[in-house]
Amino acid sequence: MKTKEKLIIRALSGETLSTPPIWMMRQAGRYLPEYKATRSIAGDFLSLCYNPALATEVTLQPIRRYGFDAAILFADILLIPQALGAKLWFVTGEGPRLSTITTQTDFDSLGEVDDIDAILSPIYETVQNLSCELPGKTTLIGFAGAPWTVATYMIAGRGTPDQRPALDLIKNQPKIFDALIDKITDATIHYMSRQIDAGAEVVKIFDSWAGSLKGNLFNHYSVIPAKKIVSELRTRHPNIKIIGFPRGATNEGYINYAKETGVDCVAIDSSVDIKWAADYLQKITCVQGNLDQSLLVSGGEKLTSESKRIVKALSKGPHIFNLGHGITPDADPENVTKMIHAVRS
């Protein structure tokens, strides 16, 4: 099937479809027994990310099981910091840890953007594998973390509840922070461009901590870097489709992000009122979302009714069905089947 005929691409091109295409953030993950079996072979999370054969396998697993309309590359948003020279490791049950960038000396120790392929080349090989092995109707999505979200981890050395260390660095050392954002932005453009070269048909910018940016900070550190990424990618790859996800943004923030960045679609989190999204956001862009991922744990009639409610509310414009955030490890695989049935029936 030609790329332009795939359901995801049609929605991203502004077409209103009778049934929305569907995929899930973190659809290759710990809720699936086959994923856990493959990860045990890899040994640890990072080894799985950097093993093209195994990363290809876990990306394909939810496609085989559920027949999603898209597969998203299995990787992690923190591979760019590692490729730039930051130390990265994962603590079981707690998440990622990184060496911190808080001083000019720390920043100066980072490598050059042109050198990141030495670390990231296995990721491109995974994309190449997937472009050959996915079913013809399935869209291949690449991704990266947005500069703000990646910077929050690089500054704090871990995830934080309110991203306070990064916000403090903006206030106390703005030149260092701006230089870090610029470097991450340039690295992200390079990384995503290489994914597209390898076969990605869509790319997604994950700004998971955009909601902690208030007022002008949101525009300065979420919207403007995303706009630069979109512009540069479009210059290099005129036909690429791009999804942006400024999670936790205000309604006004979502609207401004859609208008200013030039993305083809805005993903919304579960806190966004779906009627508002239909009445305002969907008037200017394709909308992706926004089922509460906790319903894939609890299941029941509410899972079915909420899935159908979202489909109906967004049926008058371009829509890609997804969650408001990634599926969690405690989700029931059978509930995913129920969700898909509710969306497609």
pLDDT 10s digits, 177-221:
999 999 999 999 999 999 999 999 999 999 999 999 999 999 999
Cα gap 298→312, rounded to integer Å: 22
* CATH code (residue 228): 3.20.20.210
The label of the residue with tokens 């502004």 reads 14
224 and 158 part of one domain: yes
Higher pLDDT, 81 or 1: 81
pLDDT above 70 covers what percent of the chain?
A: 100
Domains contained in the chain, number: 2
Picking from 251, 285, 314, the residue at the C-terminal end of a domain is 251
231 and 284 part of one domain: no
Let me know: does 177 contact 166? Beta carbons within 8 Å.
yes
User: What is residue 141's predicted lDDT score, i.e. its pLDDT?
Assistant: 98
The label of the residue with tokens 């290099």 reads 236
157 and 184 part of one domain: yes
Residue 35 included in any domain? no
Average pLDDT of the chain is 97
User: What is residue 139's predicted lDDT score, i.e. its pLDDT?
Assistant: 98
Residue 124 included in any domain? yes
Nearest to 97 by CA among 85, 105, 86: 86
Residue 302 included in any domain? yes
Let me know: does 146 contact 205? Beta carbons within 8 Å.
yes
pLDDT in tens, 125-148: 999 999 999 999 999 999 999 999
Picking from 188, 220, 251, the residue at the C-terminal end of a domain is 251
Check whether 94 has a pLDDT greater than 90.
no
18 and 147 part of one domain: no
CA angle 102, 106, 111 (to 5 degrees): 130
Q: In terms of residue numbers, what domain contains 146? A: 73-251
110 and 85 part of one domain: yes
pLDDT in tens, 229-266: 999 999 999 999 999 999 999 999 999 999 999 999 99
**Cβ partners under 8 Å of residue 91, min gap 6:** 97
Helix axis angle, 117-133 relative to 174-198, nearest 10°? 40
User: What is residue 93's predicted lDDT score, i.e. its pLDDT?
Assistant: 80
Residue 241 included in any domain? yes
233 and 282 part of one domain: no
Query: Is the pTM value of this prediction over 0.95?
Result: yes
The span from the first CA to the last CA of the chain, in angstroms, equals: 24
173 and 84 part of one domain: yes
pLDDT in tens, 304-341: 999 999 999 999 999 999 999 999 999 999 999 999 99
85 and 233 part of one domain: yes
Tell me the one-letter amino acid at 91. V
Cα gap 292→296, rounded to integer Å: 8
Check whether 92 has a pLDDT greater than 90.
no
Residue 337 included in any domain? yes
